[in-house]
Amino acid sequence: MKRIAYVLLLSILGPGVVAQDSLRYWADKLDKYIGSSVEDYFFLNDFWTMTSRTYHKIMIGQFNMIVAGNEMKFDATEPQRNLFSFTKGDIMMEYAGTWGMATRGHCLLWHNQLPGWITAGLTDGVDNGLYSRDTLLAILENHITTLVTHWKGKVREWDVVNEVFDGDGTLRESIWQQVIGDDYIDSAFVWAHRADPDALLFLLDYGAEGLNSKSHGIYAKVQELLGKGIPIHGVGMQCHLTTNDINFYSIESNVKRLTDLGLLVCFTEVDIKIPADEFSTDVALQRQAREYGQLLSIFLNCEQCPSFVMWAFSDNDSWIPDHTAGTYGQACIYNLKYQPKPAYYALLDTLRAHNGVNVGLNTAASNPFSIVPTLVDDHFIVTSETGSPEFTTAVITDMAGRQIVKLKEITAGEPVYVSALGKGTYVLTVTDRNDNHYLMKFLKK
């Protein structure tokens, strides 16, 4: 029945739905995956409304990878013990197979969106003794094995464990950790690998894109897993980011240290939100576009980064407004009406450029040559090889991405005093009057 629906969709959209100048087209040429999560109404197979047709035309035409936002999580797939529901996941798999798209499986284990029969094991967030270690291990093994076996050969990348770290880099005290112990993570990867040896298995988290306490904890954990021979293939960086507050150098450094371990790194839930007081302003949209472009550049410059997936491609479907009580939004590359924003064109141009197409990219660079910082005693001087542009702001962050100082109205060639700056390595980001961003690393001796 679903196959008939997809044939109908093909007749509606036409055979040329994947254009030869799309995100998907250029990503395919680079053997990279660019994708999006899919929304609840995706699973209704409603192809008749204009909005639905537009949605599917964008999904199929622009992306070569999809992931279910909620429909493959624990509560959706095993609402009652040993009673499994695969319907919506099967719909997505058939859709992906029909349109030649890869899939991510999200997610096998999480502390949220658990069915009531699991959360009954906690009282006020604390283990109440309902489940023994052996019982919960058996439940978890059965769940992981059943899901991965059912979709064996259809899921390219599985998020095996999701958000298992707290902000300080320690393991989160979930029901899994409290009842089973820290080794539940080891077991989850082993069971997933046994069920589908060809699937790529990831540890996924948020707020750990750059170098900080959480990412240090993750780095130590994956080193431990690798040392024990646990079958982990990569780390997923969710990348729920905020415009004008992204330390790209720190992200790039974190990607490098993980890939140096031989791991893959995927950007799995990308969105870059804008503060409500800047909604729809040209400055904010252009800044967001540059930041999307720079994040994609980090991804494309890394051979061990296979997948770049956005958490919804349209502002109409974004989770951000509800999650932030409307204080942030407009985080996606298409607007509420499914029209492309500057961020879309930034991604397109970045992909074109990496395919050798001559495009005029205006994105920040991690190692620019036009701006050179010099730090002497209690001040530094920004000099330019191309004249003396004025900068509206300069932000100094440490290597963990924490803001140390924010300055205003600095001018190239003039000293900027930062006597409170301690010894160490820092990242300086300057923004000129045209809202161009320049990043550089420097050492305070």
Catalytic residues: 163, 269
- Beta pairing partners, 429: 395, 439
CA atoms within 13 A on the CB side of 77: 26
CA atoms within 13 A on the CB side of 439: 23
Strand runs labelled E in 33-101: 33-38, 65-68
Q: Using an 8 Å Cβ cutoff, are 101 and 64 in contact?
A: yes
> How many C-beta atoms lie closer than 10 Å to residue 19's C-beta?
12
- The Cα-based distances of 171 to 108, 174, 224, 407 in angstroms read 17, 9, 13, 36
- The Cα-based distances of 284 to 78, 101, 154, 298 in angstroms read 42, 32, 39, 21
Cα–Cα distance measured from residue 423 to residue 249, given in angstroms and rounded to the nearest whole number = 19
Cα–Cα distance measured from residue 146 to residue 77, given in angstroms and rounded to the nearest whole number = 10
The arrangement of strands across the sheet holding 415-417 comes to 371-376, 379-384, 415-417
Cα–Cα distance measured from residue 395 to residue 386, given in angstroms and rounded to the nearest whole number = 21
- The Cα-based distances of 59 to 100, 238, 437 in angstroms read 12, 20, 31
The two beta strands, 122-123 and 126-127, are antiparallel
Q: Using an 8 Å Cβ cutoff, are 89 and 68 in contact?
A: yes
Q: Using an 8 Å Cβ cutoff, are 292 and 264 in contact?
A: no
**162: Cβ contacts below 8 Å, ≥ 6 apart:** 106, 107, 109, 110, 204, 205
Omega before residue 266 within 30° of 0, cis: no
3 state SS of 439: strand
3 state SS of 254: helix
